[in-house]
Amino acid sequence: MDTITIKDIARALNISTSTVSRALRDSYEINPETKRLVTEYAERLNYRPNPIALSLKENRSRVIGVIVPQIANNFFSQVINGIEAIAYNRGYHVIIFQSHESYEREMLTVQQAVARRADGLLISLASGTHDVTYLRALQEKKLPIVLFDRISKDLDTLSVTADNFGGAFAATEHLIKAGRQRIVHLTMPAHISVTQERLAGYRAALEQYGLVYDENLVRYGQFGPDEVESIVDELLKLSPDAFFAAGDRLAIGCLSALKKRNVAIPETVSLIGFTNITVADLLAPAMTTVEQPSLEIGQLAAEQLINLIEGKKTTAPPTSLKIPTQLIVRASSQS
Amino acid sequence: MDTITIKDIARALNISTSTVSRALRDSYEINPETKRLVTEYAERLNYRPNPIALSLKENRSRVIGVIVPQIANNFFSQVINGIEAIAYNRGYHVIIFQSHESYEREMLTVQQAVARRADGLLISLASGTHDVTYLRALQEKKLPIVLFDRISKDLDTLSVTADNFGGAFAATEHLIKAGRQRIVHLTMPAHISVTQERLAGYRAALEQYGLVYDENLVRYGQFGPDEVESIVDELLKLSPDAFFAAGDRLAIGCLSALKKRNVAIPETVSLIGFTNITVADLLAPAMTTVEQPSLEIGQLAAEQLINLIEGKKTTAPPTSLKIPTQLIVRASSQS
DNA sequence: TTGTACGCGTTATCAC
DNA sequence: GTGATAACGCGTACAA
């Protein structure tokens, strides 16, 4: 891949590289004629400045590193979509890294991103991550970091999340108002921030409506398809009258299990983060869902990070940004 | 973000930068003691060579550019997953670009990738792309390019796709053997390679079993949710006895439409590329699907591209690699 | 065995 | 108005 440089232009036009540079950068006092010559020639040869040389000189890469647990996931791929939209608008490129939910891999990929001289990092923590001191170290080295979705209170950064508390509260409240009293809460591993926030919303709603919180109705884990089956079996013995699954895959697994068992509950499941409305419609016409603003999370997070990188005022104190969720209540299609 | 360089180490240890460089690169004849000193110090300060400087020097970036129509899409995000797995193993990073199905944006992002000095490009063409001369120009400049999924016969590159013909043939054959005779084929825009290959498989199966090809039963487009509704309405007037949707979203839209109209056909839909089996199970227990090997496509494509970049022998003449698809027949769960 | 000098592509600074 | 030079971080030929 042979590329044309400023040198080539200088040689061809019998002028110095600095003149070429000036002409192209439209910088001060330059002979209009020279400028014309240079720009025309550059145009003709389709000259593009080498961003790598620029990076070296300016000590910045105009690249932001994004670390997610996994790419092949509806939520994260939409967040990335949002990130990309903003980043490209502001002249940044995005390099994606996956932690595969592992603490070790997360550390490694963060190292990689740092080695690549990413100008800043956008991270959603792996479920295996309990310790963020390695991130704190980077922060102290002035590397801009913004956490999103899976955040940590142990790290004093800007963070962008959905309003998980509010969403879970609304979903639970909706079920209660529909007469449900024994609402199962199927959720992710306990230590993840998202889990805690959603659980808190669930509890708050129960409390507000004078229902008891029964911890037997709450199950944690990133249940694989089979696992959910047995969990649901166990739960059914406790005669619940509604299921609130706090995540896409949990909800799908749950629906699948219930369907196999021919459990017919008109409005069993409410879930957070199911982004494909068409599928939700098909799966359970009467299902209520909490739509997670994945695109917006990505956009806002990217915007905040770039502001940080460029030293602009951030939106001040409120270091923890929450984007509202939307409760979507589907009318039962069958009589 | 202050980083430590080879210079810092040299200064601290009172030796020259070249000595430091040699010590770290484990290069020839160096005093073991000096080497120890340097490596220890570097380790302690967590020194990482600046890949940007290296890129500039070696005129390569160890980055591969991936251009897909959209990230937030099950198929593409899984392909990216596969690409990433291979790339990182072989020391490459992956920068993602989206064309948003637009020819102009595709050209722009390719320019960006080239400007960023990507060592090679992995491209799945936008549906808006009818002309690939701009890619041919890059090819002539010796930029390694591998196409995947949405390929073009107008470009003489290595390509990696699913066996779309075989998959469509198998699906159609399955429907025919189940007694279907008027099989609708709902597919993507006509000029896309994938569309053509799948259509050819569909036709070949019809022909082999002596059924007439009725072009009224074939519909093209990237139907939005609403659009599918009216298409299905039109099609129903032609009294089809099966639907073969050549794509995830088409299939979901089709199922949704059929469900709303209470059309009960035991095995209506067969589709290509639906990767989430759990959802397929839920949607239509008797549905037959063709699983697309998205992960493998990504892996193989990345492998081929990196071989190209590194000048290794490619797998010779067969410049067009096809990965087999798998027909998954689900037994009806009812009765 | 180690140090010096140069080049990768670009721009800022200083001379002319 | 334009040219020469240094610097960004690194590796390496060449010199010592």
Give residue B284's pLDDT: 67
Considering all nucleic acid strands, name the nucleotide whose C1' atom is nearest to the C-alpha of residue B29. Answer: C1
**What digits encode the pLDDT tens for the residues B228-271?**
889 999 999 998 888 898 887 788 888 888 878 877 655 556 66
Mean pLDDT of all residues in A209-216 = 96
Q: Which residues pair with A147 in a beta bridge?
A: A123, A159
Report the DSSP pairing between strands A218-220 and A269-272: unpaired
**β-strand pairing of A145-148 with A158-162:** parallel
pLDDT at B329: 82
Residue in the block written with tokens 């889990």: A195
Residue whose CA lies closest to nucleotide C9 C1': A53
pLDDT of residue B250: 84
Look at residue A260 in the predicted model and tell me its pLDDT. Answer: 81
pLDDT tier, A333 (very low <50, low <70, confident <90, very high otherwise): very low
Q: What percent of chain B has pLDDT over 70?
A: 88
In chain A, the residue whose alpha carbon lies closest to the alpha carbon of B259 is A282
Taking the Cβ of residue A225 and every Cβ of chain B, the question of whether any pair is shorter than 8 Å is answered with yes
Q: Tens of pLDDT along A253-275?
A: 888 888 788 776 556 666 666 65
Do residue B282 and residue A283 have CB atoms under 8 angstroms apart?
Answer: yes
Asked if pLDDT for residue A80 goes beyond 60, the answer is yes
Determine the average pLDDT of the residues in A290-307.
94
A334, pLDDT greater than 60: no
> Bigger pLDDT: B100 or B261?
B100
Residue A199 has pLDDT above 70, yes or no: yes
Give the protein-side footprint of strand D (Cβ within 7 Å): A 14-19, 22, 29-31, 33-35, 53, 56-57, 59; B 3, 5-7, 17-18, 21-22, 24-25, 27, 49-50, 53-54, 56-57
Residue A123 contacts by C-beta under 8 Å, 6 or more apart in sequence? Answer: A66, A67, A110, A135, A145, A146, A147, A148
Residue A107's closest CA among A83, A137, A77, A78? A137
Q: What is the pLDDT of residues B73-90, one digit of tens each?
A: 888 999 999 999 999 899
Window from B95-109, B182-196, B203-217, B274-288 with minimum mean pLDDT: B274-288
- Given a cut of 70, whether residue B27 has pLDDT beyond it is no
pLDDT tens, residue by residue, B101-139: 999 999 999 988 988 889 999 999 999 999 999 999 999
Answer yes or no: do B52 and A52 touch at CB < 8 A: yes
Q: In the prediction, which pLDDT does B226 show?
A: 79
pLDDT the model gives residue A268: 61
Strands A120-123 and A242-245: unpaired
| Nearest CA-CA distance, residue A212 and chain B, Å | 33
CA distance B93 to A296: 26
pLDDT for B333: 43
Q: Average pLDDT, stretch A231-246? A: 90
Scanning A158-217 for CB atoms below 8 A from B yields none
Q: What is the pLDDT of residue A40?
A: 93
The Cβ of residue A264 has, within 10 Å, a number of other Cβ atoms equal to: 8
Q: Which segment, A153-162, A239-248, B107-116, is predicted with the most confidence on average?
A: A153-162
Instruction: Give the per-residue pLDDT at A27.
Output: 66
Instruction: Determine whether the interchain pair A72/B51 forms a contact, defined as Cβ–Cβ distance below 8 Å.
Output: no
Q: Is 80 exceeded by the pLDDT of residue A281? A: no
Instruction: Please report residues of A whose CB lies closer than 8 A to that of B282.
Output: 252, 255-256, 259, 282-283
In this predicted structure, the answer to whether residue B53 has a pLDDT above a threshold of 50 is yes
The average confidence (pLDDT) of chain B is: 88
Q: Burial code of A236-250, b = ≥16 C-beta within 10 A, e = fewer?
A: eeeebebbbbbbbbb
Whether A133 contacts A167, CB under 8 Å: no
Residue written as token pair 């359970």 = A284
Q: Which residue in the set A2, A77, A279 is minimally distant from B141, CB to CB?
A: A2
More confident residue, B7 or B332: B7
Taking C1' of C11 and every protein CA, the nearest residue is A21
The residue-averaged pLDDT of B48-55 equals 93
In this prediction the pTM is 0.89
**In chain A, what residues touch B255 (CB-CB under 8 Å)?**
282
CB B130 within 8 A of CB B191: yes
Chain C positions with a protein C-beta closer than 7 Å:
1-5, 7-13
B71/A77 touch (CB, cutoff 8 Å), yes or no: yes
Task: State whether B117 and A50 contact (CB < 8 Å).
Answer: yes
Contacts of B150 (CB under 8 A, 6+ apart): B69, B124, B125, B126, B127, B192, B193, B194
Residues B266-295, mean pLDDT to the nearest whole number: 70
DSSP string over B202-227: HHHHHHHTTPPP-GGGEEES---HHH
List domains and CATH numbers for chain B. Answer: 6-47 (1.10.260.40), 58-161+294-323 (3.40.50.2300), 164-292+327-333 (3.40.50.2300)
Say yes or no for a CB contact (<8 Å) between A80 and B70. Answer: no
CB pairs under 8 A between A and B: 124
pLDDT(A224) > 80: no
Which residues touch B228 (CB under 8 Å, ≥6 apart)? B186, B250, B253, B254, B256, B257
